[in-house]
Amino acid sequence: MPENNITDRKFVANLLRNVRIGNCSVREALMAYPKDTEDESLVAAYHALIHYEADEDIRRRDTLYKEEQDDYIEFLAYTLDNGEDLPENIINNYKKFYDNAPILHQNNFQGFLKGFWKTLNTGFRRRKE
């Protein structure tokens, strides 16, 4: 595995932990996320963060659910911090969301084109359905 993937994984592990303990919001973590990542473990962790935020109201009402979700985020952070791939079942669970992943692109012309083409593709798919 390239060294930058391990660095990115450790960085994301830190983001996950900071979100879990309340040191940063999910939005802040997503804005700081590695741009244009193709590391499936990082893409899955990105989606886990989105779902973590979406379930905020459930976590407030259900302490058992909150503990389970916090443990899940910590497991992802621990695995990524060790430079390991996330388990295949976790990666596969999030693959259905990959086409709509709002992962940010580099702030350059190439990044602009990636975002532009993705937007066109998404719009085309919606019209076809």
pLDDT band at 115 (very low <50, low <70, confident <90, very high): very low
What is the number of other CB atoms lying within 10 angstroms of the CB of residue 12?
Answer: 25
What is the number of other CB atoms lying within 10 angstroms of the CB of residue 37?
Answer: 20
Q: What percent of the chain has pLDDT over 70?
A: 73
pTM score, whole prediction: 0.75
pLDDT band at 120 (very low <50, low <70, confident <90, very high): very low
> What is the spatial distance between Cα 78 and Cα 81, in angstroms, rounded to a whole number?
5
> What is the spatial distance between Cα 13 and Cα 5, in angstroms, rounded to a whole number?
12
| Amino acid letter, 119 | T
> What is the spatial distance between Cα 25 and Cα 21, in angstroms, rounded to a whole number?
10
Q: Are 111 and 36 in contact (CB under 8 A)?
A: yes
Q: Tens of pLDDT along 55-107? A: 999 999 999 999 999 999 999 999 999 999 999 999 999 887 755 555 555 55
Tokens read off for 127:
């019209």
**What is the reported pLDDT for 99?**
58
**What is the reported pLDDT for 35?**
85
Lowest model confidence (mean pLDDT) among 30-34, 56-60, 110-114: 110-114
- Arithmetic mean of pLDDT over the chain: 81
Query: Minimal CA–CA distance to 25: which of 16, 12, 34, 13?
Result: 16
Lowest model confidence (mean pLDDT) among 5-9, 35-39, 46-50, 52-56: 35-39
